[in-house]
Amino acid sequence: MKLACQEGLVPGNSLPERLEKLAAWGYEGIEFWGGGIKERVAEIQSALKNSSIRASTICAGFRGCLLDADPIQRDLAMQDIRDLLYVAGDIGAVGLIVVPIFGSPRLPNLTPLATPEQLERELLLKLLEDLVQTAEKAGAHILLEPLNRYETHFLRRLEQAAAICDALPHPNLKLMADFFHMSIEEADIPAAIRTAGTHLAHVHLADSNRLLPGQGHTDFKSGFAALREIGYTGYMALECGIAGDPAVELPRAAAYLKAL
């Protein structure tokens, strides 16, 4: 497993400076925010070329919503996701993190014909049939991210995201696990990771209070044991707040995680 960190957490006046710090602090990867990244491809490629740090992933950053009732919003999300998948391929990232919807349902309740959640699942599968073809051409993965109940009503557990991957088996469709969301939604984090199995292609790290690992009470050791059990060798990227000086706390977090 390889440690990564979101770019916005790292102090520095330039990308090369941030990459240099990450390498010195024990990290192997960097995760980029998707907003505005299309205009940064040359900058990122140049900086990575002279660094040991690699691009782990692109985190969202697309407009619209895949599961909106408005086709304009769906089309906007589809186009941005297609573009970001090609960017992910261009910078050598594993893929693009995709949250299908935030908040409550936007599709109608057609009970007894179908609930909003049933409609959302069928719609998502239909849209993913298109997007996985782009992902394959781009050489990148779609990484479905389950969130917690306070951020979405849809895809809150790894088993739900794994069921989407099972329903649309394609090598470029995967899921990711976030320790913060799992600490709220999963009854057993290691068991959830084992259920995800080979569908798992990325991990987000944050403690129970959404601060750096080691600044809360999450049991990362048992989760890491489960990741080893399923043969996971990919990136684990920090997505969290930092209590303290990042120049002190980021190297401390890396040391803490590697010790586990």
Confidence at residue 27, expressed as pLDDT on a 0 to 100 scale = 98
Largest CA distance in the chain: 59
104 pLDDT band (50/70/90 cuts)? Answer: very high
pLDDT digits (tens, 9 = 90+) for 45-94: 999 999 999 999 999 999 999 999 999 999 999 999 999 999 999 999 99
C-alpha torsion sign, points 210, 211, 212, 215: negative
Q: If 0-12 CB within 10 Å is exposed, 13-18 middle and 19+ buried, where does residue 232 land?
A: buried
Confidence at residue 215, expressed as pLDDT on a 0 to 100 scale = 94
Confidence at residue 227, expressed as pLDDT on a 0 to 100 scale = 98
Mean pLDDT of 231-248: 97
Strand partners, 96: 58, 142
Mean pLDDT of 202-219: 96
11 pLDDT band (50/70/90 cuts)? Answer: very high
Mean pLDDT of 101-112: 97
Confidence at residue 90, expressed as pLDDT on a 0 to 100 scale = 98
Place of tokens 């390889």: 2
CATH number assigned to the domain comprising residue 244: 3.20.20.150
Q: Which residues constitute the domain of residue 60?
A: 2-259
Mean pLDDT of 148-169: 98
Confidence at residue 169, expressed as pLDDT on a 0 to 100 scale = 97
Q: What is the number of structural domains in the chain?
A: 1
238 pLDDT band (50/70/90 cuts)? Answer: very high
Mean pLDDT of 97-124: 97
Confidence at residue 226, expressed as pLDDT on a 0 to 100 scale = 98
